[in-house]
Amino acid sequence: MAIKGAVQIDIETCKGCELCIEACPQDTLALSNEINKIGYHYAVQIEDNCTGCINCALVCPDAVITVYRQPKKKKNGREEVARISNVRSDVTISINDK
């Protein structure tokens, strides 16, 4: 059975570059018709088929995507597995893939 994932996107910081949309093998993401407060169409999750592969988070130049993956032993809740942060200087990548 496929692993269940989900993404959280900081829509007010997204610049609508579409890199995450291109990188997603599941076609889970798309640009919203709405515009955020800095004037860009922002990325949103449009399908419930995310596998938590983290491709989108890795390519996002603004580091606004957090990926969650459902824990294998828990049926409820979600677990953060990848967060890209601090892109203005050194890049920190932390992956919890247990």
Query: How many residues in the shown chain lie near ligand SF4 by CB under 6 A?
Result: 29
Least spacing, CB of residue 90 vs ligand SF4, in Å = 19
Among 75, 80, 76, which Cα is nearest to 57's?
80
Q: What are the distances in angstroms from CA 84 to CA 24, 52, 75, 87?
A: 16, 14, 26, 8
Least spacing, CB of residue 62 vs ligand SF4, in Å = 4
Do residues 21 and 45 touch, judged by C-beta distance below 8 A?
Answer: no
Q: Does residue 84 bind ligand SF4 (CB under 6 A)?
A: no
User: For 80, what's the count of Cα atoms within 13 Å in the CB-facing half-sphere?
Assistant: 9
Q: Which 11-50 positions form the footprint of ligand SF4 (CB under 6 A)?
A: 14-20, 23-24, 26, 28-29, 43, 50
Contacts with ligand SF4, residue ranges (CB under 6 A): 5, 7, 9, 14-20, 23-24, 26, 28-29, 43, 50-56, 59-60, 62, 64-65, 67
